[in-house]
Amino acid sequence: MFLSTREILHYKSRYVLIGSIIFLIAFVVFILSGLATGLANDFKQGVVDFKAEKVILSESSNNLLNASQISTSDVKKIKGGQTAPVSLFTTSVDRTSKKRVNVAIFAMDEDAVIKPKLLDGKMFSVSTDKTVVISQGLADAGFKIGQTMKIGNHKTEVKIVGISKASE
């Protein structure tokens, strides 16, 4: 013990450097784990807001919602209470000509039991082509009812008709 203490006191800069490297590695791991947790929570919040008792995924999905594909005929075979098929994908929308905002898009029937609660405007309609309801978060980012958004790389235009409660 005496010998190790004497060596540490003699080579202070070497041990400070090693300690600093260990601290920086631990700090980077901490920051990256926080970032990963935040991104995962942001993505899953839309599903949590469904307040569904069960979410059914295909066997081949590896328990990933966006990888699950269930045919319409299989959805009709599902027994239970109210069911609502939903499609999910992530993309980005043009906020300005030079800035894009990442979004998760949930596509569902207009009579789905999991559709969002409106704060303003009206609900999307299948009969009205390319209408969407956005979350309060996108409204806070500057999107307004009546405005059109360009989605994805193909710049598909959709019209905003309503604003729903933001995810908590």
Q: Quick one: angle between helices 2-10 and 12-48, nearest 10?
A: 90
Question: Whole-structure pTM over 0.85, yes or no?
Answer: no
Q: Tokens for 108? A: 């569902």
Task: Determine the 3-state secondary structure of 16 from DSSP.
Answer: helix
Q: Specify the pLDDT at position 32.
A: 94
Which helix or strand (DSSP H or E) is residue 73 part of?
helix 72-77
Full pLDDT tens readout for the chain, 168 residues: 788 888 888 888 999 999 999 999 999 999 999 888 877 776 677 677 777 777 778 888 787 777 778 877 887 787 777 777 777 777 788 777 778 788 777 777 777 777 777 888 888 876 667 888 888 888 888 888 888 888 877 778 888 888 887 655
